[in-house]
């Protein structure tokens, strides 16, 4: 039980993806979890039941919010802390993507990416850090970035900018809160089959084509990623901050 008695908020956990898998893994390791969802309360509720019915005594609650405004993000973090009775861990997995050439981007599409992926991350992680500092909690903040925070890929430039910004923000915050024992780290997945890209990657032909860019030769699974989140949240990572773990089968290497 690496997270016995810890209290964690995971954003973007109300879908079949890495947020959900992270929340479940945290609960299995002994944490109580606030499950943030956006548009599908029934998926979050099913996860809540799965955690509470496991018979381990772990508690979970579901909190719905559109995180495209800073105020909604801060309210979510405040509410999670209140419902859980404290906040030891924040994971930000909520994000959106617009796949198209940057020359064709509309202002609205640019704003949609930056509002959620960059400002949303900013508002969530700074509010969590504020609470952790004031509460004297040696907290853990974990940001889901992406391989495209580093690799410039066609059709993903706008998304990549939002993820690069969030990753830089996380590293900067890591420096500012290090003296309080709070860590801020980043997980950068490569292509992973989730609700985020099920429309394309569920097609074996498209998956095989994408896998050609991955030295390990296959699309990732959520199980390939959650262990990194568990590590960053665990006591073993108390002296590790501002770090990015790429869970990508070698995607960023060539
Ligand atoms: N899958 C990949 O290949 C991949 C690769 C690199 C990085 N990532 C990153 O990994 C993280 C998790 O993604 P995932 O692949 O696991 O997919 P996912 O489960 O679909 O996660 C994205 C979450 O963001 C939520 N969301 C979307 N718009 C929102 C809004 N306006 N306000 C609040 N929440 C909103 C979604 O909720 P709804 O579905 O209800 O809208 C969903 O729960 C994301 O940060 C993503 O950028 C994914």
pLDDT of 80-111, one tens digit each?
999 999 999 999 999 999 999 999 999 999 99
CATH number at residue 51: 3.40.50.720
The pLDDT value recorded for residue 96 is 98
253 domain-assigned: no
Q: What is the pLDDT of residues 140-178, one digit of tens each?
A: 999 999 999 999 999 999 999 999 999 999 999 999 999
* Residue 241, in any domain of the structure: yes
233 inside domain: yes
Specify if 42 maps to a domain. yes
Q: What is the mean pLDDT of residues 15-42?
A: 98
| Residue among 212, 102, 194, 203 nearest 146 (CA) | 194
CA of 180 to the centre of ligand 1 (A): 30
* Domain-located, residue 40: yes
Q: Mean pLDDT in the chain?
A: 97
Q: For residue 108, what are the domain limits? A: 7-245
Ligand 1 pocket, 121 CB below 6 A? Answer: no
- Residue 220 near ligand 1, beta carbon < 6 Å: no
- 36 — pLDDT class (breaks 50, 70, 90): very high
* Annotation says 144 is catalytic: no
Percentage of residues of the chain with pLDDT beyond 90: 99
Q: What is the pLDDT of residue 45?
A: 98
Tell me the C-alpha distance between 174 and 180, whole Å: 10
Q: Give the CA count within 13 Å in the CB-facing half-sphere of 38.
A: 20
Ligand 1 within 6 A of CB of 115: no
pTM: 0.99
211 lies in some domain: yes
CA neighbor of 173 nearest in space, from 234, 228, 92:
92
Q: Cα(14) to centroid of ligand 1, in Å?
A: 9
C-alpha 141/C-alpha 128 separation (Å) is 8
Q: What number of other Cβ atoms are within 10 A of residue 228's Cβ? A: 23
Give domain status of residue 127, yes or no.
Answer: yes
Does 160 contact ligand 1 (Cβ within 6 A)?
no
Number of domains in the chain: 1
In a domain, 2, yes or no: no
Residue tagged active-site, from 37, 144, 159, 239: 159
- Span 199-226, mean pLDDT? 96
For the chain, give me the number of helices (H) and strands (E)? Answer: 9, 7
Nearest to 22 by CA among 243, 234, 248, 250: 234
């Amino acid at each position: 039980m690496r997270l016995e008695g810890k209290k964690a908020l995971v954003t973007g956990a109300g879908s079949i993806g890495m947020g959900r898998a992270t929340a479940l893994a945290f609960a299995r390791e002994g944490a109580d979890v606030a499950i943030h969802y956006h548009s599908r309360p029934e998926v979050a509720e099913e996860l809540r039941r799965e955690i509470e019915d496991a018979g381990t005594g772990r508690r979970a609650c579901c909190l719905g919010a559109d995180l495209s405004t800073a105020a909604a993000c801060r309210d979510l973090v405040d509410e999670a802390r209140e419902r859980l009775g404290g906040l030891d861990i924040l994971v930000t997995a909520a994000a959106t993507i617009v796949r198209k050439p940057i020359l064709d981007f509309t202002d609205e599409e640019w704003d949609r990416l930056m509002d959620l992926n960059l400002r949303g991350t900013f508002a969530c992680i700074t509010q969590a850090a504020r609470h952790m500092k004031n509460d004297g909690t040696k907290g853990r903040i974990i940001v889901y970035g992406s391989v495209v925070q580093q690799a410039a890929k066609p059709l993903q430039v706008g998304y990549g900018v939002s993820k690069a910004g969030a990753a830089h923000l996380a590293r900067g915050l890591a420096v500012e809160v290090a003296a309080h024992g709070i860590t801020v780290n980043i997980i950068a997945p490569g292509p992973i089959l989730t609700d985020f890209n099920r429309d394309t990657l569920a097609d074996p032909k498209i998956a095989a084509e994408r896998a050609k860019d991955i030295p390990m030769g296959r699309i990732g699974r959520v199980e390939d990623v959650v262990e990194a989140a568990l590590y960053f949240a665990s006591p073993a990572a108390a002296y590790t901050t501002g770090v990015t773990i790429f869970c990508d089968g070698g995607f960023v290497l060539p």
